[in-house]
Copies of this chain bind each other. A is one copy, B any other.
Amino acid sequence: MPAGFRAGGLAAGIKASGRPDLAVIVTTGGPAAAAAVFTPNAFAAAPVKLSRAHLTATSSDPRGGFGWAEAIVSTSGSANAATGPAGEADQLEVGRLLSNAIGIPVTRTLHLSTGVIGTRLPLERVASGLAAIVPILSDDDAALEAAAIALRTTDSVTKIATTTVELPGTDGRPVTVTVSGIAKGVGMIHPRMATMLSVILTDAAAAPGTLWGLLRPAAARTWNQLSVDGDTSTNDTVFVLASGASGAAPVEAGSAGAARLGAAIEAIARDLARQQAADGEGASTLITATVTGARDDAEARAVARAIVSSSLVKAAAHGRDPNWGRIAGAAGNARLADAAVLEAAGLPTAEAAARAGSPATVDATILRISIAGHLVYDGSAGGPVTFDRAAARAAMDAPEVVIALDLGLGSGAGEAFGCDLTEAYVIENSEYTT
């Protein structure tokens, strides 16, 4: 747990199962710089709209991307999406209850929610839960884990990642800064400019806009490269809060310190995205697609994402079938991301607009494909390669299968994370309303 935060989680009775479903994180030293990315879904949930409004209120940034915050509240079991004005009033009431309990302005609360779309929050249970949780918030690692547990919906494991980075202190001497993240998966995951619920905390210091400038490219290269089932949720949100409590000097945009902090944030984002993919609904295998030799990074990421998003590639991975034809087919369909994602990843605005959705360049006469370390296709050698099928199948029977493509066209590289498609996914999503 980075310095400057307290956290906690408990079962407030939102979930019928009785599992933990309410998490709260607060700052201990006043407002923390906050940055966020949200779902672009037109049915954005009440917590998404309220968080965006609060960030705008505290920073005057009209995009709602960054501002100041002192508390995050997360409810699990009801998404509070597509619930109309009543659902928006419910979410504001959650903010009021929390802000009263800890004595801060309501605009300094940020909100997460996940669960069934179209159901209302059980406000009385949330109120009782908030009254119970505030006194037990703690700054130890177990408290962060309790918050991570309370984020979960159909997740089978709790998702936490942490790293440290050295930055100049306010007194000029080096300070070790901690960056920790928690996240939930594991269905309706196919991010665009956002991801599932995730919170990254750091005791580094940065202005909100600077923090946002570090979060956006990190999310574009990690969570935007994650797909479980092709559906982008109504509630996707990532928050990064920087308390400054480490004593590190505020990082300036473009500085070496900002680059180091950005790399730490990206490392946490990547770690959590991999955990989310591995725990995809019904999944038994993490599929990692790595693409090199693309014309540029944006094209490499497009090809990688097309591969992990393919139902047929996912089903073949489940069957431990080194079916490279489906991989080639998926690569051949790759389209670049939305303009907003391309811009977040670093492309100039005009170029991002011009290239959004355009096909990635793939040349079947040059491309090479490897599955779990076995070369299966080599375009410059005529295409299909004779390989040891039994050995490839055996290598695919692992917790992670790496599909590696070398496009042979340039120096662009990228990766994407997904999971296999199993009967369990279908059963989970057809037999239960989630």
User: Which of A's residues lie within 8 Å of B, judged by CB?
Assistant: 40-44, 79, 81-87, 116-119, 187-188, 192, 229-234, 309-312, 315-316, 318-319, 321, 323-326, 328-335, 338, 356-357, 359-365, 377, 379, 382-384, 420-423, 425-427, 429-433
Partner of A323 from the list B357, B420, B433 (CB cut-off 8 Å) is B433
- Chain B residues within 8 Å of A82, by CB: 324-325, 328, 364, 377, 383-384
Q: Among B315, B333, B426, which residue has its beta carbon within 8 angstroms of that of A422? A: B426
The copy count of this chain in the complex is 2
Assess the B188–A118 pair: CB atoms within 8 A.
no
| Cβ contact within 8 Å between A116 and B325 | yes
Chain B residues lying within 8 Å of A356, measured Cβ to Cβ, are 356-357
Q: Determine the distance from Cα of A199 to Cα of B334 in the docked complex, in whole angstroms.
A: 27
Cross-chain contact B234 with A321 (CB below 8 angstroms): no
- Given A118-B328, A321-B430, 9 further pairs, Cβ under 8 A: A41-B333, A42-B331, A42-B363, A81-B328, A82-B328, A82-B383, A86-B383, A321-B433, A323-B433
Give complex CA distance A360, B421 in Å.
29
| Contact (Cβ within 8 A) A332 B43 | yes
Q: Given A311-B231, A311-B429, A384-B118, does the pair A364, B42 have CB atoms closer than 8 Å?
A: yes
Whether A383 lies near B332 (C-beta < 8 A) is no
A326 adjacent to B430 (CB under 8 Å): no
Cα distance A426–B431 when bound, in Å?
A: 16
The CA-CA distance from A331 to B329 in the complex, in Å, is 27
Contact check, B421 vs A42: say whether CB atoms are below 8 A apart.
no
Q: Is the CB–CB distance between A232 and B325 below 8 Å?
A: no
Can you report 21 residue pairs joining A to B where beta carbons are below 8 Å apart? A40-B333, A41-B329, A42-B332, A43-B328, A43-B332, A81-B328, A82-B324, A82-B377, A84-B384, A86-B383, A117-B328, A118-B377, A192-B333, A229-B311, A231-B326, A232-B332, A234-B328, A315-B430, A335-B338, A423-B423, A423-B427
Q: Are B330 and A231 in contact (CB under 8 A)?
A: yes
CB distance from A168 to the nearest CB of B (A): 42
Chain B contacts of A84 at CB under 8 A? 364-365, 379, 382-384
Inter-subunit contact B117/A325 (CB<8 Å): yes
Docked CA distance A116–B377 (Å):
15
Are A326 and B117 in contact (CB-based, < 8 A)?
yes
What is the CA–CA distance of A229 and B230 in the complex, to the nearest angstrom?
A: 10
Q: Which residues on B sit within 8 Å (CB–CB) of A319?
A: 429-432
Q: Hey, which chain B residues are within 8 Å of A321, CB to CB? A: 430, 433
The residues of B that contact A116 with a CB separation of less than 8 Å are 325
Chain B minimum-CB-distance residue to A339: B357
Cβ contact within 8 Å between A325 and B229: no
CA distance A425 to B315 in the complex (A): 9
**Known interface pairs A383-B82, A425-B426, A427-B423; A234-B365 also in contact (CB < 8 Å):** no
In the complex, are the beta carbons of A231 and B333 less than 8 A apart?
Answer: yes
Q: What are the residues of chain B within 8 A of A357 when measuring CB–CB?
A: 335, 338, 356-357
- Residue of B41, B187, B364, B423 touching A332 (CB-CB under 8 A): B41
Given the known interface contacts A325-B117, A326-B117, the answer about A312 and B433 at a Cβ–Cβ threshold of 8 Å is no
A364: shortest Cβ distance to chain B, in Å? 5
- Complex contact B43–A315 (CB within 8 A): no
In the complex, what distance in Å separates the CA atom of A87 from the CA atom of B365?
Answer: 12
Hey, which chain B residues are within 8 Å of A338, CB to CB? Answer: 335, 357
In the bound complex, CA of A356 to CA of B353 (Å): 10
B118 contacts A324, C-beta separation under 8 Å: yes
* In contact, B329 and A232 (Cβ under 8 angstroms): yes
Q: In the complex the two chains form, is A231's CB within 8 Å of B312's CB? A: yes
8 Å CB contact of A85 from B86, B310, B362, B382: B382
Contact A315 B118 (CB under 8 A): no
- Inter-chain contacts of A333 with B (CB < 8 A): 40-42, 192, 231-232
**Are the CB atoms of B87 and A383 closer together than 8 Å?**
yes
Question: What's the least CB distance linking A295 to chain B, in Å?
Answer: 13
Smallest CB-CB A-B distances: 8 pairs: A117-B325, A357-B357, A84-B383, A319-B430, A315-B429, A43-B332, A42-B332, A41-B332
